[in-house]
Amino acid sequence: MGMDQVFVTNTNEDVHEDGYNGEAFVFPPGERVLVPVEAAIHMLGFNLVDKTDTLVRLGWATIYDPKTKNWAENPQGAQRLGRFVFDKAVMVSESSLARALEKPVAA
């Protein structure tokens, strides 16, 4: 696993499961999951301007319209993908964290 990691929070109502490089990841609603940045890019389009490839890979880009009997753009797919929140993880030594917690908070 690489050094760069990101916390991913799924704010959708359903569990999302995906995989990267042979490792399975489960994203329960409301829980923070630590994943490698490369996995977040592949699975959820982290930091990508154009998330089309991610939406297509997930099967969320289009939806079948039975009225027209054609596939149409799925706006809910982009909305669903947008409900994954990313927070870059940083490594901090335990002693640094303890010192930071001892400092009084400015009002």
Is the pLDDT at 30 greater than 80? The verdict is yes
Q: What is the mean pLDDT of residues 63-84?
A: 91
- pLDDT value at residue 104: 67
pLDDT of the residue at 3 = 64
In terms of Cβ atoms closer than 10 Å to its own Cβ (0-12, 13-18, 19+), residue 27 is buried
Q: Is the dihedral of CA 16, 60, 8, 14 positive or negative?
A: negative
pTM of the model: 0.79
14-18, 29-33, 90-94: range with lowest mean pLDDT: 90-94
* Residue 42, φ and ψ in degrees, nearest 5: -65, -50
Helix, strand, coil % in the chain, rounded to nearest 5:
30, 35, 35
Strands laid side by side in the 32-36 sheet: 32-36, 5-10, 84-88
How far is the C-alpha of 77 from the C-alpha of 82, rounded, in Å? Answer: 9
